[in-house]
Chains A and B, each alone.
Chain A
Amino acid sequence: MDKPSFTFDRRKFLKVAGGGLIVAFVSKDFLSFARKSSPQGSPSVPISEVGAWLHIGDDGLVTVYTGKVEVGQNIRTSLSQIVAEELKLPVSSITMIMGDTDLVPYDAGTFGSRTTPQMGTQLRRAAATAREALLEMAAKQWDAPITGVNAENGMIVNSATGQKIGYGALTKGQQILRTISDDVPVIAAKDWKVAGKTVPKVDGRLFISGKHVYTSDMVVPGMLYGKVLRAPSYNAKLIAADISKAKAVPGITVVRDGDFIGVVAPDVLAAGKALQLIDAQWQEESGQPSAANIFDYLVKNASGEDGERGSASTKGNVETGLKESDFQLSQTYHINYIAHVPLEPRAALAEWADGKLTVWTGTQRPFGVQEDLAGVFKLTKEKVRVIVPDTGSGYGGKHSGEAAVEAARLAKVVKKPVKIVWTREEEFTWAYFRPGAVIDVAAGVKNDGTITSWKMVNYNSGTAGLDTQYKTANRQITHLPSKTPLKQGSYRALAATGNVFARESHMTDLARLIKMDPLDFRLKNLDDDRFKTVLQAAAKAFGWNGPKAPGHGYGIAGGFEKGGHIATCAEVLVNEDKEIKVLRVTQAFECGAIVNPHQLENQVTGAIVQGLGGALFEKIDFAAGKILNSSLSAYRVPRFSDTPHIEVVLINRKDLPSAGAGEAGIIGIAPAIRNAILDATGIGLTTMPMIPNGTLTT
């Protein structure tokens, strides 16, 4: 076990930790480097190298500090389980401090299904290191062999004498710092007693009683309410504004700074009224593309080169491969822009005190927002504190800190705390979208089911899920970035939502060309055992080979993304009016060792439901720089009545490390439904969403 001296900001560290045992996660690479460069053999660890830490106070309470945030994915519970497991404690003994830049070590953000594999692993090792340290300390105190002491339910027990001492009592009055090495023994998944079990959400009671305070619910003494004047369309320039009427209202402050105009008022109604009193003139940009011509626009404006380094994947020669094939199939798939629609819109509360800015806001990147704020206000990062209360969801849509910057701007002028909560319309218009895409796929297949050639080009949306997961001797895979008329960004599973739709649609179409069962065709072309396993599990639970009534169709699709392996089967009914109803969905999911089965199932089911929207009807409509469906009546998201019967089959691979589960669950549903519609009607749809008006139109 490494015992370097910590040179990072001890004041910050001790302020949060006080006495007791502190264990910090430091990357192995850094430690080996530091050891070499430190002649005393006592490496110093700058705070930038610390990924997470946990603290056992002399009261025995365990506090974990992590930069990850809770947006509904339930990591407050699952990370607690991981720590509790290693420390032999009940989950209720663990307190998680999350997403507070003053208290937690730097973290890039909560995205990419990284929390469980990365932070979970760090915290598991931190907790195991703490346990080992406690064992060492107790053995020393009792002059017992290390093998003669055990950790049990918050106590170290001397197995020879039966002596017991609590964790807190062991560390009392001391300041002990440890770092973690990779070789600390951790408990194998097969022996888990706390992790691996269904544990209800640790603070669930707060949510079901309305007591949890989201950013949008917060009130602090002296707080005022802000609103920001929005442009009538994207890229519009403010050319004149008469703010005198708004300014004349008692209690109202109007803040103007270039194109930014905001108002501050004693209550939210007054802020809205003040905004209406501003007479602004805008120069709007003409010639902006619309939803009607977006796909041509994306192709025309694509750069000729492969976008992201390493995104191109080439093997063999696709032209040669096509010549070897018995059947060829080229198709273009179209993926519309969609919105995340987190039910809690963007919100922020900003407060300036003694030159320091504190902002509470719902973001997936607290340290990114801290950096943004430091940049805007020309402050050092230490002068900006970002705190993320558990937030009303994100789905990749809250990487940014727009509301935080706006609230801070207004609060700075009025010298009082200011809260901004975006309206639903603002959230639809001024956040960012999952990118739209055009995806070309050209493939060749032999009569025996061998894929001889696979060429796939993604215009604009990205590389996630782009590379084929099936065997082929010849492939050429490219992502071409384009100009986007709408602000675009991260989304649950990113571009994989579109890329897997295209690939899995194409796979089923190829299977039909050679009259092979789509499941058999996939299995024939797979080497990946984990992918094969979920395909077979989903098909079995679904009854893939079972009979179906007229008008009914079955579809299958799958893939793996960010460590999660999924396969989805769907049954649809297409009636005489060509209305489509998704009747049932069976999804098999495998992400290594399961930390919390019921919460995992909840997450996977949620991904299916969210995926239904993008598959069937979600689509951002826009023209001339305006969003035309910026309300929940015009932009349809899945509701109770849209939800099919869903069966989730979880495969628990205790022999494999746990991977994240927030994203992969969304990628199979759209192509599974598409392939089921094809099965029922012979019509292969190529655009997401597939049935924006509820009926099949060709």
Chain B
Amino acid sequence: MLDLLTGFVGELRAAGIPVSLTEHLDAAEAMRHVPIEDREALKYTLGASLVKSSAHWRAYETAFEIYFSLRGPEYRIDGDQDGAGELETDDAGRMNGQGRQQGQGRGRGSGGGEGMTPEELADLLYKALLGANDAMVAAVARQAVTRYAGMEAGRPVGGTYYLYRTLRNLDLDGVLERLMSEARSSTRALNDDLSTSAEAPPVTLTSLEERLLRDEFQARIDQLRAEIENEIRRRLVADRGSEALAKSLRKPLPEDIDVMHATRDELVALRKALVPLSRKLAVRLARKRRHGRKGPLDFRSTVRHSLSTGGVPVDPKFRYPRPSKPEIVVIADISGSVASFARFTLHLVHAISSQFSKVRSFVFIDGIDEVSRFFDRVDDPTDAVQRINTEADVIWVDGHSDYGHAFTVFWERWGEEITPRSSVLLLGDARNNYHASQAWVIKELRARARHVYWLNPEPRAYWNSGDSIVGEYAVHCDDVVECRTLRQLEQFVGNLA
């Protein structure tokens, strides 16, 4: 068991969760007090001693599920007990084998049996969801994985592939619609009964009830999805062992998610992480400004105070520090490929705008527009970022990135306003669709502004490949920074202020 824990801690560290030696000891101590067979209790107690931040919980959970997964014969991928000749048999045979075993092992007669038709399975799924029957949902998930995922032992495919295959066959959106229409018609039936029997007011599904019902079903479907995911993972663990799998399923911490390739769920996690991050960054910067440096020597004050010590300047006085706050100009590409990255950066910069004397933001695709006005007198940058998407006027010709044109227009219209106090941040992957680069604008900007930085959300290896011309701009910038994750972004902005 201790070996398992050590391996588990190693995996957590590999996933980026800092686990100190004391915490490891605590976890080992904790395991003595908790019944090992109570899996949920074990998960929470280990979590309490190993994971010290809620943002890390998701990564922890995944690792836990893998390392302490339920193991047993029913989770083997090749369901047939005979094993050896299994791989040659066709799919149908395998599914039957699995189905039979489940029927025996779990005593779920309705679900098991000699393999169900897809219609029966769909029907069962529908009933399970309608009745909110947890055990049944779990059974359906198992069946669905067996039937649709087409898992093969030893096949080096990620879990997401199997998940996709299973979900595609289940058509959950369709199921949701069916559930809703069923609910509607059942109220209508009730309504008919009532109107025939008495003078009761007609019962209809109000929009409020409808909304609640939809959320209810959606929650159940999410539960099913999680169940399917668990099932697939369990089988993969049984097939490949925990360590190999942990590596392939490792979920990045929110601050390490690659913004450009984030999935929808990851984007939600990112948005959640961004708010506390910007708040912490603002506190840190304010503190740095308050303490830290002292101003230059205040000669007059020093001499005056030295009179009490007979003219010996024992206690030198310093001027109150007034570090100048930089002025920030953000020019961001918001075309499809880098849109989410631009949004996060704008959000972060404006959230800590009190740390800058002025923040101006511009967005472009092939046209360019100033969006600072959206952020004025708004407490929460989220709304403003939303409005940028809908209201900013950034299309000039065809809505494909044209850095050259955007920069030229910027120079003509706002170039005068760049002063030696401004730091200019350029955001984008510099994929210019083979338009002219107009790099001279950056050169001019560099001559006027205090600094010009380029933040590129692409991995450094991809720079200057294909239509990326970041190199042409880079020669005129103070620095070009690879900025793919919130951690990198936070670091950059922190250094800037």
Partners in one complex: no
